[in-house]
Structure 1
Amino acid sequence: MTPIGSKDERIGLADAGALAAAIGRKSHAGKSVTLNAAMQLATVWACIRLTAQAVSALPLGTFRREADGGRTAVDDHALAEVLEVSPNADQTSLEFWEATVAWLISTGNSYAEKVEFGKRLSSLQPLASTHCRPVRLPSGELVYRVTDRGKSEDMPRSKVFHIKGFGFGGDLGLSAIANGAETFGAAMATDEAAGKIFGNGLSVSGILSSEQVLKADQRRDLKNAMLAYAGSTNAGKLMILEAGLKYQQMTLNPEDAQMLETRRFHIEEMCRWFGMPPIIIGHAAQGQTMWGSGVEQILLTWLALGINPICRRIEARIVKDLVPAGEKRRLYCEFNREGLLQMDSAAKATFLSQMTQNGLMDRNEGRAKLNLPRREGADALTAQTNLAPLDQLGATGGDASAARNALAAWLGLSGN
């Protein structure tokens, strides 16, 4: 890696993204929206966590395309060992992909340093997306600028595994948190306001009146005395007033204090930024229940439009950046989407039944998806024969016709 020289090069326009990630973007609500601040919102936490866990839990396999159009699972390739078993010395494959997807969803980009032994990939070391960004040098060369303990260094593109999120092309994916700063800032301000209301015992303000004009020191002493009645821990205390002072309390009912409608809107708005149906994170829209076939269709939509594009994005980048040049046409990695059916026994039983009964999968292939051992004689493709062309009805009788004729002969009905 090549260190950056002058101070201007270390802190310049090229590092604006890194500075913005650290300082955040100021919203009109007065809140600086950073990744850490946004993660304190339950909706943001749930959207990122559930998406990352759903993708990382899918089995990842390495395959080789065969000349006949089929494919063969590859277990002894160096790439399979890194991606499926041990990406690095510290993480399991699930932990690595979980972190990768979390960075991808939150910042729009995910980075990892490629460590090679000779020409063989030996590990992937994750890089924080807030401390790494692609930079185009004046020569047009693409490098990755990594900030570590106050120092910036450039890494060649051949050493970085970069997964880009949604964008309009270019070298960077777009960050949902950065572009949605107004939405997240407003939600942060609403939560803070609600917290302060509850902290004050649901008393947002009150009026303390007197027929006399108070001096400056009297006002100060009176303000300090009133602090003894502020806060939820002091709710219910008996207030003692003298010298003709009168207190008129202004209260909010609990529903108004929670700002239910505003907070409900913010939840749904934040979910839009992450492409997450609110029902997935446990938030039912107005008039919607948490159960039923409608919810099932929402889940399928999320899998098709939310999870699958992320998987395809990762799979394509693996082929482009990690598969050796001479094997890109044949070697590839793929997430097993059927892993999403593991918890739905009825859906999985229906799927396997249809695949085996229609000749698309033999019994042993179906047993393998249930982690059951192979059985002898279960390698043949089978299909139901209850439906057949009319001109083949007699030909399909086979053993059944012979059995019927034998029974008729035994009963003495063969001549009829």
Structure 2
Amino acid sequence: MGILSRLFGKTEARSATSASYAEAFGISPTASGAYVSPRLAENLATVAACVSAISSAMASLPAYVYRAAERGRTELPGHPVARIIRHPNTRQTWPDLIEWIMAQALLHGNAVCVVEYDGAGRPTALLPIPWNNVQVSLLPSGRLAYDVAHFSAPWGGPGLSRRYLEGEVFHLRDRSDDGLLGRSRISRAPEVLGIAIAANNAVSKLYSGGLRAQGFIEAPVFLTEAQRKDVDNWLGKIREAMQHGRLPMLEGGFKFGNASISPEDAELLASRRFSVEELCRLFQVPPPIVQDLSHGTFTNSREAGRWFAQFTLSPWARKIEAEFSRSVFGVNSADCTLELDMSGLMRADAEARWQSHKIAVEAGILDPDEIRDIEGWNPRPAGKQPVEGEGA
């Protein structure tokens, strides 16, 4: 049995089609003729922008560890998980790790990190593992086992494999079909991406032809085989001239017939705009967030930002918090939780931030010194009162 047979489980390597080879590597064929995979999907600017918008926004959220108290909760900056937030591993910062986790979950449907522990069983680090390096098995006990092939070099081949059990792995899933593994949005709607990729390919071919009309050459008489060979060489020079913007000359009674259609006639541009909207729907990202302002105004773009926070980011934040409670805190910290502070999204919106502070002070929820602490300022000196109209 050859290596292809062992890789793809075929009894004979030559009996497998190229499509089955592609599917074995997560590349799906579509009706449009384009192949779709996470790597190919990111060639589309809209997919890359949606993934970047969600992952970078999630990475910008402050994270805190709390323990439930009799009345309310207490922040635990010295908790082992709080130390992971400050320093998750030797190669990444916390924003880097969250950005990576979100990109993996959006493109592959799953994001896996190995949880490292010290001798006392306290978590000390989260090590990111690319989804392509993970093989998940369901054990007879009903638990999942993760066979991880660690990379021996950044872009080299995989090293030795090691098995981890559920309690040793942080596993963030996109919506699952079986409750075990997440399924990527790319695999749920390959035709949407296939059409967008095919449209991109069509535009690429149009530009590679120098945006010149494509058509046919009409000969005055039937040609012999020898004449056909001469004409083929001659047509090559004609195509080269057209690609460089030079005006070709037709001799011997030959005529050029235009058999092409313009981008407007083919509605390529309209199709690509529609693909942007379709891909935004797939990732639940409002078009203005990825710089599609064709229907945007200042007002609805601002509302799109709120919609993005409420319906796109908030569910992912809850998923991450719940997965930390399941896999990272463990039984020794069952009363502890991770919180991703969504108010961090207002960091760049000073007007909205200070308006919310004003409401909190007027309602008696916070006092001015608490507001100053939130903003990173020291408390007012003892005895100094705010000047009328100065606020906090």
TM-score, scaled to structure 1: 0.81
Match of 1:57 in 2: 60
Match of 1:45 among 35, 48, 57: 48
Match of 2:165 in 1: 156
Whole-Å separation in 2 of the counterparts to 1:169 and 1:351: 42
Equivalent positions of 1:272-287 (< 5 A) are 272-285=281-294
Does the residue aligned with 1:280 lie in a helix, a strand or coil? helix
Q: For the structure 1 residues 210 and 232, does the alpha-carbon distance in structure 2 shift closer, same or farther, using more than 3 Å as the test?
A: closer
Which 5+ residue runs of structure 2 have no aligned equivalent? 11-19, 151-156, 386-392
Which 5+ residue runs of structure 1 have no aligned equivalent? 1-6, 381-416
Match of 1:209 among 208, 214, 218: 218
Match of 2:94 in 1: 93
Match of 1:267 among 276, 279, 284: 276
Does the residue aligned with 1:228 lie in a helix, a strand or coil? helix
Match of 1:186 in 2: 195
Whole-Å separation in 2 of the counterparts to 1:18 and 1:241: 46
Could you report, residue by residue, the CA deviation over 1:198-254 in whole angstroms, capped at 9, with x for unpaired residues? 111223521211121112332233223222333697343122222221122345445
Whole-Å separation in 2 of the counterparts to 1:129 and 1:50: 21
Match of 2:109 in 1: 108
Equivalent positions of 1:120-159 (< 5 A) are 120-147=122-149, 149=157, 153-159=162-168
Does the residue aligned with 1:155 lie in a helix, a strand or coil? strand
Q: For the structure 1 residues 117 and 12, does the alpha-carbon distance in structure 2 shift closer, same or farther, using more than 3 Å as the test?
A: farther
- Contact 1:364-1:379 at 8 Å conserved across structures: no
Which amino acid is the alignment partner of residue 309 of structure 2?
L
Q: For the structure 1 residues 373 and 198, does the alpha-carbon distance in structure 2 shift closer, same or farther, using more than 3 Å as the test?
A: same
Q: For the structure 1 residues 23 and 55, does the alpha-carbon distance in structure 2 shift closer, same or farther, using more than 3 Å as the test?
A: closer
Whole-Å separation in 1 of the counterparts to 2:212 and 2:343: 53
The alpha carbon displacement at 1:263 in A equals: 0.4
- Contact 1:201-1:232 at 8 Å conserved across structures: no
The alpha carbon displacement at 1:350 in A equals: 0.7
Match of 2:83 in 1: 81
- Tell me which structure has the larger Cα radius of gyration: 1
Whole-Å separation in 1 of the counterparts to 2:31 and 2:50: 24
Match of 1:315 in 2: 321
Match of 2:154 in 1: none
Does the residue aligned with 1:64 lie in a helix, a strand or coil? strand
The alpha carbon displacement at 1:144 in A equals: 1.3
- Contact 1:111-1:129 at 8 Å conserved across structures: yes
Which amino acid is the alignment partner of residue 134 of structure 1?
V
Match of 1:343 in 2: 348
- Contact 2:166-2:327 at 8 Å conserved across structures: no
Equivalent positions of 1:299-314 (< 5 A) are 299-314=305-320
Match of 1:32 in 2: 35
Whole-Å separation in 2 of the counterparts to 1:18 and 1:161: 30
- Contact 1:204-1:251 at 8 Å conserved across structures: yes
Which amino acid is the alignment partner of residue 125 of structure 1?
L
Q: For the structure 1 residues 28 and 232, does the alpha-carbon distance in structure 2 shift closer, same or farther, using more than 3 Å as the test?
A: farther
Q: How many residues align?
A: 365
Which amino acid is the alignment partner of residue 116 of structure 1?
Y
TM-score, scaled to structure 2: 0.85
Does the residue aligned with 2:377 lie in a helix, a strand or coil? coil
Q: Is it true that 1:177 corresponds to 2:186 in the alignment?
A: yes
Whole-Å separation in 2 of the counterparts to 1:249 and 1:18: 40
- Contact 1:363-1:378 at 8 Å conserved across structures: no
- Percent identity between the aligned chains? 27
Could you report, residue by residue, the CA deviation over 1:354-398 in whole angstroms, capped at 9, with x for unpaired residues? 001110111111111211112256999xxxxxxxxxxxxxxxxxx
Which amino acid is the alignment partner of residue 361 of structure 1?
L
Could you report, residue by residue, the CA deviation over 1:19-74 in whole angstroms, capped at 9, with x for unpaired residues? 84724011111121111111110000000011100000111111122111x22221
The alpha carbon displacement at 1:78 in A equals: 1.2
Match of 1:293 among 291, 299, 307: 299
Which amino acid is the alignment partner of residue 221 of structure 2?
Q
Which amino acid is the alignment partner of residue 356 of structure 2?
F
The alpha carbon displacement at 1:133 in A equals: 4.2
Whole-Å separation in 2 of the counterparts to 1:166 and 1:206: 48
Match of 2:15 in 1: none
The alpha carbon displacement at 1:258 in A equals: 7.4
Does the residue aligned with 1:316 lie in a helix, a strand or coil? helix
Equivalent positions of 1:359-374 (< 5 A) are 359-374=364-379
